[in-house]
Amino acid sequence: MSLRTPLGRVLGLGTAKDGTDHFVAQRISAIAMVLLGGWFMYSMFTIESMAYLEVMRFVAAPLNSVLLSLLCITGAYHSYLGVQVVIEDYVHAHGVKLLSLIASRFAHVFLAVACVYAILRIGFTA
């Protein structure tokens, strides 16, 4: 028989108490992604061709470099927030959940940095 009080047993098992930040960040990044994603799809629709020089020219144009960087950073952030919820909802084993969250965070930061590095490199070499 456990001597722990009912209160002692449930403490720490409730909500994380910090969900509001996640909720707001998810929606603000969503608003940004509507604009950036819309711009990106429009750009991919209107770009002359997918030939190497054409893509270089597109990425290297200053405004495109800035918007593409924002798309990658905001996209990675928005994606991290979404994947985080999926992991928290569906991975129940504590250790696997924690490792998945860390792996997801690493992967998303890696992708964002890789994108921005590539964009800068194209911009400065084109």
Partner 1 sequence: MSLGLIFLAVWLMQTAAGPEQYQYFRAAMGSPLGKILLIGWTFAFFLHLGNGIRHFVWDTGRGFEKSQANASAWAALVMAIALTAGFWVLRF
Q: Are the CB atoms for 87 and 104 separated by under 8 Å? A: yes
Amino acid identity, residue 87? I
What is the smallest separation between the CB atom of 31 and partner 1, expressed in angstroms? 8
- Position among 19, 20, 52, 95 found at the interface with partner 1 (CB under 8 A): 52
Minimum CB separation of residue 86 from partner 1 in Å reads 9
Q: Dihedral (C-alpha) 58, 63, 66, 68: value to the nearest 10 degrees?
A: -40
Cα separations in angstroms, 60 against 20, 71, 117 = 38, 15, 12
Euclidean distance between CA atoms 66 and 64, whole angstroms: 5
- Decide if residue 55 touches partner 1 (CB under 8 A): yes
User: What residues between 71 and 90 interact with partner 1 by CB under 8 A?
Assistant: 71-72, 75-76, 79, 82-83
Contacting residues toward partner 1, per CB under 8 A: 27, 30, 33-34, 37-38, 41, 45, 50, 52, 55-56, 59, 68, 71-72, 75-76, 79, 82-83, 108, 111, 114-115, 117-119, 121-122, 125
